[in-house]
Amino acid sequence: MALRDILIVSAALAAVPGLTLAAAPAADEPIQPVEPAKITNARMVDLGKELFFDPRLSKSGVISCNSCHNLAMGGTDNIKTSVGHRWTKGPINAPTVLNAGLNVAQFWDGRAADLKEQAGGPIANPGEMGSSAELAVEVLQTIPAYVRSFKEVFGSEKITIDAVTRAIAAYEETLATPNSRFDKWLKGDKKALTQTELAGYALFKDAGCVSCHNGPNVGGSSFQKMGAVEPYKTTNPAQGRFDVTRNEDDRMMFKVPSLRNIELTYPYFHDGEAATLTEAVTTMGKVQLGRDFTSEETGKIVSFLKTLTGDQPKVVLPVLPPSTDRTPRPEPF
Amino acid sequence: MALRDILIVSAALAAVPGLTLAAAPAADEPIQPVEPAKITNARMVDLGKELFFDPRLSKSGVISCNSCHNLAMGGTDNIKTSVGHRWTKGPINAPTVLNAGLNVAQFWDGRAADLKEQAGGPIANPGEMGSSAELAVEVLQTIPAYVRSFKEVFGSEKITIDAVTRAIAAYEETLATPNSRFDKWLKGDKKALTQTELAGYALFKDAGCVSCHNGPNVGGSSFQKMGAVEPYKTTNPAQGRFDVTRNEDDRMMFKVPSLRNIELTYPYFHDGEAATLTEAVTTMGKVQLGRDFTSEETGKIVSFLKTLTGDQPKVVLPVLPPSTDRTPRPEPF
């Protein structure tokens, strides 16, 4: 085979999706790169974006999906537990919506199978958006531009909560964050990480963090016991999967959170009690691995974790269609 | 003068700012088109946008400028009075931030001379963002990306509230909404409006609405008595300019609101008590003009008002720089 032919074959192989010649090492790693979102139904995604940003899905008219999953802040609200309807204190830390479609299930306790099932929860939760499926649909049904969009996307002018949550989920599925420095390294760019960051990754693997935080989402693929080695002390009453199954074996079994964009998604843990990455790594070492990381070790792991921040979704704020005279008014007070 | 020379002169005249040959009729009209924002300091505007969207300027960490001046909803929150810190009920309807730089002063009672002076108010208001100038600056000062931006824009790494509010105001100055159908008509596109809309505009002028709602912002240029002809009945205790000057002549003197994008900025009046444009026009006719508009007349005026919706600012959501271990944490509860 002449050199020219080899080059042509190489180029052809490189064009095969998922197969990058330069990325040979990635196959051996327990973490895989996040791929950019593939948009198959752009109109549904656009509609879902409008709904994601529309506070009229809440009873008060001031809380949207984006209030707690703020796309300016890593898809979170950066507080321990969220502020809900009438300033209700949320029971648990709001997980990021970024790359959430990669998770095995939704919510910390996995009570929703997928993003669509998740999306309906907060809308109707009295302590979150405080509305109801019926009211949310009634609001949208009175807004001609929404009716046109639903007709176009779902084939009917009659809006349903099923269509609403499908559209929101379709938008959320697009919120992937590819091209983190770590992913560039995985794909073969050996200069993408510093020696300290590489040492942090090595320790992350050696110490056993990676046994739960693996796969493309660096977590999100299993439920694990918070406090596997040593009980985790918290005043937060959440018991993880146990709250869903009432099975004693599920006590304190929480969905392993993704570590993607972890620098942006503070504070940490289901109770939001770890304010900083240093604190989170120290506690995880202790209660999950029975290990007291030195501050040098913690520093290395933290420096690795910060390489997991990917390209944030470019979000052009939607211009929401106005309410009409028939639209039920928000009731914030 | 040869035809060629005439064309050259015409082209030269057309290039003079504010002078458009095709818009000859506009010179006779009491309303002038809104021009697109001219951005003179792009870095300051970008920084101001980040600050505008950053809820860390609030004590709770969940309220940003955009919470009450939502750029997805005409620069307002579309509720009677805003929800502030710990769900405090706001005293007055949040005015739109769109084209606000054209107003003679800021706030309904004009107590801030300009956007810069306005911007500091809500940050430190216990019932709005609930923070303080000191705390807001302390938060920003601990975030390296902000420190770099302030250094670049203002020449110093020491952040001041003066710089913060200048940047926010610089961003807000860009939030103009040109190209409404009415402005196209003003500029000479005679097909931009329907006969009904034109009839509405004629009535808007004949009935006297235009005596207060004039100029490029269709309002915003003067203070007028709410209830000029007949007392305006409201339970809202605000007294307009009187609250600032304590001068009896100023009782119920409010800044005339802009009617730009009025279809998007419901509900109406300083107390937010008019839910719809129909209601607002009916009430204005009565209490300001001593006139009972027929429903046909009201319909025409409303159809004209809806032609004042311009191009909404294209807002790419900023990706906010993360807090660091030194950053004071929000205290929502």
Do A51 and A91 sit in the same domain of this protein? yes
Q: Which of B61, B79, B317 sits opposite A79 (nearest CB)?
A: B61
Let me know if residue B10 belongs to a domain: no
H/E run at residue B172: helix B161-173
DSSP strand E in chain A: where?
Answer: 223-225, 253-255
Do B156 and B199 sit in the same domain of this protein? no
Low-confidence ranges of chain A (pLDDT < 70): 1-27
Do B280 and B214 sit in the same domain of this protein? yes
Chain B residues with CB inside 8 Å of A56's CB?
A: 78
Question: Could you say which residues from 217 to 276 on chain B have a Cβ atom under 8 Å away from some Cβ of chain A?
Answer: 263-264, 266-267, 275-276
Q: Residue type at B11?
A: A
CB-based contact B275 A329, cutoff 8 Å: yes
Do A121 and A158 sit in the same domain of this protein? yes
- What residues of B act catalytically? 128
Closest among B172, B181, B179 to B102, alpha carbons compared: B172
Instruction: Judge contact between B124 and B134, C-beta under 8 A.
Output: no
Residues 6+ away with beta carbon under 8 Å from A272: A79, A80, A81, A92, A93
B333 at the A interface (CB within 8 A)?
yes
Report how far residue A32's alpha carbon sits from residue A183's, in angstroms, rounded to the nearest whole number. Answer: 7
Residues 6+ away with beta carbon under 8 Å from B144: B321, B324
Residues 6+ away with beta carbon under 8 Å from A37: A173, A174, A175, A176
Report how far residue A282's alpha carbon sits from residue A305's, in angstroms, rounded to the nearest whole number. Answer: 13
Give A265→chain B minimum CA distance, Å. 9
Chain A residues with CB inside 8 Å of B92's CB?
A: none
What local confidence, expressed as pLDDT, does residue B27 receive?
63
Closest among B31, B75, B15, B27 to B183, alpha carbons compared: B31
Closest among B111, B112, B82 to B95, alpha carbons compared: B82
Token pair of B7 as six digits: 């064309």
Give A38→chain B minimum CA distance, Å. 21
Do B186 and B302 sit in the same domain of this protein? yes
Q: Which of B151, B173, B195 is the last residue before a domain boundary? A: B173
Do B217 and B285 sit in the same domain of this protein? yes
Instruction: Judge contact between A193 and A181, C-beta under 8 A.
Output: yes
Instruction: Judge contact between A139 and A64, C-beta under 8 A.
Output: no
Token pair of A64 as six digits: 């949207």
Token pair of B108 as six digits: 């309904």
Do A192 and A162 sit in the same domain of this protein? no
Q: Give me the residue label for tokens 């080059």.
A: A7
A109 at the B interface (CB within 8 A)?
no
Q: Which of A115, A139, A172 is the last residue before a domain boundary? A: A172
Let me know if residue A325 belongs to a domain: no
Chain B residues with CB inside 8 Å of A312's CB?
A: 319
pTM of the model: 0.92
Let me know if residue A37 belongs to a domain: no
Instruction: Say which CATH number the domain at A90 has.
Output: 1.10.760.10
pLDDT in 10s for each residue of chain B, 333 residues: 344 444 343 434 334 443 444 444 556 899 999 999 999 999 999 999 999 999 999 999 999 999 999 999 999 999 999 999 999 999 999 999 999 999 999 999 999 999 999 999 999 999 999 999 999 999 999 999 999 999 999 999 999 999 999 999 999 999 999 999 999 999 999 999 999 999 999 999 999 999 999 999 999 999 999 999 999 999 999 999 999 999 999 999 999 999 999 999 999 999 999 999 999 999 999 999 999 999 999 999 999 999 999 999 999 999 999 999 999 999 999
Domain that holds residue B277: 181-308
Query: Chain A to chain B, count of Cβ pairs less than 8 Å apart?
Result: 97
Report how far residue B45's alpha carbon sits from residue B50's, in angstroms, rounded to the nearest whole number. Answer: 9
A55 at the B interface (CB within 8 A)?
yes
- For residue A76, list its beta bridge partners: A70
Q: What is the largest CA-CA distance in chain A?
A: 77
Give B117→chain A minimum CA distance, Å. 25
Q: Which of A62, A72, A322 sits opposite B318 (nearest CB)?
A: A72
Q: Which of A131, A154, A172 is the last residue before a domain boundary? A: A172
Token pair of B117 as six digits: 């002076």
Let me know if residue A30 belongs to a domain: no
Do A64 and A121 sit in the same domain of this protein? yes
Report how far residue B302's alpha carbon sits from residue B204's, in angstroms, rounded to the nearest whole number. Answer: 10
Report how far residue A193's alpha carbon sits from residue A53's, in angstroms, rounded to the nearest whole number. Answer: 36
Let me know if residue A56 belongs to a domain: yes
Q: How many CB atoms lie within 10 A of CB B165?
A: 23
Do A140 and A77 sit in the same domain of this protein? yes
Domains: count for chain B: 2
Give A33→chain B minimum CA distance, Å. 21
Let me know if residue A240 belongs to a domain: yes
A158 at the B interface (CB within 8 A)?
no
Sign of the alpha-carbon dihedral angle for A104, A110, A113, A115: negative
Do B234 and B255 sit in the same domain of this protein? yes
Report how far residue A333's alpha carbon sits from residue B65's, in angstroms, rounded to the nearest whole number. Answer: 20
Give A3→chain B minimum CA distance, Å. 46
Do B190 and B295 sit in the same domain of this protein? yes
Report how far residue B295's alpha carbon sits from residue B293's, in angstroms, rounded to the nearest whole number. Answer: 6
ipTM for the whole complex: 0.91
- What residues of A act catalytically? 128
Q: Give me the residue label for tokens 């924002």.
A: B37
Q: Which of A79, A319, A330 sits opposite B330 (nearest CB)?
A: A79
Report how far residue A197's alpha carbon sits from residue A306's, in angstroms, rounded to the nearest whole number. Answer: 9
B312 at the A interface (CB within 8 A)?
yes
Instruction: Judge contact between A181 and A307, C-beta under 8 A.
Output: yes
Let me know if residue A134 belongs to a domain: yes
Let me know if residue A303 belongs to a domain: yes
Do B146 and B187 sit in the same domain of this protein? no
CB-based contact B332 A71, cutoff 8 Å: no
B60 at the A interface (CB within 8 A)?
yes
